[in-house]
Chains A and B, each alone.
Chain A
Amino acid sequence: MLRLALLRFASAVPTLLLLLVLAFFMMRAAPGGPFDTERSLPPEILAKLEQAYHLDEPLWKQFARYIGGAVQGDLGPSFQYSDFTVNQLILQGLPVSLRVGLGAMVLALFVGCAAGIVAALRHNRFSDYAVMTLAMTGMSIPVFVIAPLLILLFAVTLGWLPAGGWQDGGLRDMALPVVALALPQIAILARLMRGSMIEVLNSNYIRTARAKGLATRTVILRHALRPALMPVLSYLGPASAGIITGSVVIEQIFGIPGIGRYFVQAALNRDYTLVMGVVVFYGTLIILFNFLVDMLYGVLDPRVRAE
């Protein structure tokens, strides 16, 4: 177990480092800089600015400086929002992004698994086809199409929910973004859950449990559910990555003051540190999540544990 943890950890570190290197040098290879304005600044002011932000140093030195700071948890000052550090901006957006992201994750897990189980139990019957068709629809309609359609229906036409914005962060603000973010994941989870449940239900030990005369309820909840959940568990890593990526778009569409909305804007404005900050933060989160899921998998699956 410890060996497995060390092994996984050993591959997580180079991943993160590679991500940092790629993001850093790609950003710096971009033409233009953070101080490009409509009127170009006088050269001496520009030089002073670049000196203040260490942009006049050779690139490798800047990278070393950045890594040094990042390791200590300091992501540097933002260029675009000059009164804020990147840490402040991320901490400001974090509670909001976390609420929406976790909400979507929880919703996707419950609805996706429930739909998948129903479809598996009604294999090749009407509810199975209905769930699978819906799931296929959910997979085929991108987040950024679902979101405007939801707004069109629930905000513009019916007027039940706000079209965007973030008043108090209550359920009314959260409903549409969370649903939009969760739908594609619900679809994928439902298909996964159905597939693994059907396989488990066909296995010998389930037949034994049924033959013993156990109630269907007990067979499913006590015997079938746990092994059937394993593939779902291993999908949690990619699912979290999908939700985080999706939040970049969702936060933009709904005008949610989270972390994701900074990313594209910052990249376009060459706000080097803010871009790096978002990449570092979300990258670490995704890699950490994958690591935890791997570990959990090892704890829950006796076959992996034995290796």
Chain B
Amino acid sequence: MNKVETALAVAAAAPVGRSLWADARRRLFANRAALLSIVVLVLMVLLIVLGPMFSPWTYDYIDFDGIWRAPPQTEGMHFFGTDQLGRDLFVRTLVGGRISLMVGIVATLVSLLIGVAYGATAGYFGGRIDGLMMRGVDILYALPFMFLVILLMVVFGRHLVLIFVAIGAINWLDMARIVRGQTLALKNREFVMAARASGVSNGRIIRRHIIPNLLGVVMVYVTLTIPQVILVESFLSFLGLGVQEPATSWGALVNEGARDMDAAPWALIFPATFLAVTLFCFNFIGDGLRDALDPKDR
């Protein structure tokens, strides 16, 4: 009965053409690792956003009578224990996650904006402009950026906006290269020629015809950039250059936890696990998206 129903459903659905995106979604959801990652990531975001409401503690409440409480701590409601100042690690891990995720997403958007605009312009105009613009990217590409970012943080203090800008400024280079390559391939296609023939301006062609067709590649790249950015932010925070106390991020928490890990391993293990699981999910989704959107496999 069930089989027949499914067969009927498939037969009914078969003649309907599938769009590129429906096709990609179907293939993405068929990828179990990616699907599981999406589920875990959604749960993670829900936990990070809503979780702190279910704890009686705040992320900056200091309790010197309750330092280094080991989990599981049900009576004090410290689900993940407390740190060296008696602050609740459950709430701190989740609040730190908010900062880490926010930095990841905002900085990726910064690099997305710069990278797509730059790459599409270089690719579309081609020739000498392209050569010049990409030579600039080559020169910047070879810079050991981590050193400059560390200097930047030392110079201008630990400002959250600065972290976005600094990290975004590194990552747009890759984006620009990818977008340029795609644009070069796209700009000689018929629909672009048709648009040009009917007198559409260059800026409008780039915005209306080139960029929408780049979305697939860009989306894959964005999913793979977010974990990289989170990694860089946590790297900075680990060095003590990221977000400022009492605010925190996963990198900062790992840094604190690593200092006293023989006495209080939970202070390291919880934030480290959250960080690793999140990065893991983003990487899997990115890989899954790339496979799903790859025309070679279709």
Contact = CB atoms under 8 A, between A and B. Distances in A.
Interface of A: 11-12, 14-15, 18-19, 22-23, 26-27, 29-30, 136-137, 139-145, 147-149, 151-152, 156, 241, 244-245, 248-249, 252-253, 263-264, 267-268, 275, 278-279, 282-283, 286-287, 290
Contacts of B227: 140
Closest 4 CB pairs of A and B: A140-B279, A148-B258, A30-B155, A140-B280
A151 B146 CA distance: 25
B252 to A, nearest CB: 11
A263 B147 contact: yes
Contact of B262 (A14, A145, A156): A156
A95 B26 CA distance: 54
Contacts of B275: 142, 145
B7 interface: no
A26 B258 contact: no
B155 A18 contact: no
A15 B150 contact: no
Given A141-B272, A248-B239, 14 more contacts: A19-B143, A22-B143, A23-B148, A26-B152, A30-B155, A140-B276, A140-B283, A142-B231, A142-B235, A144-B251, A148-B254, A245-B146, A249-B235, A264-B150
A30 B154 CA distance: 7
Contacts of B72: none
B241 A11 contact: no
B239 A141 contact: no
Interface of B: 135, 138-140, 142-144, 146-148, 150-152, 154-156, 227, 231, 234-235, 238-241, 251, 254-255, 257-258, 261-262, 265, 268, 272, 275-277, 279-280, 283-284, 287
9 contacts: A141-B279, A142-B254, A148-B268, A148-B272, A149-B272, A263-B150, A264-B150, A268-B154, A279-B144
A15 B142 contact: yes
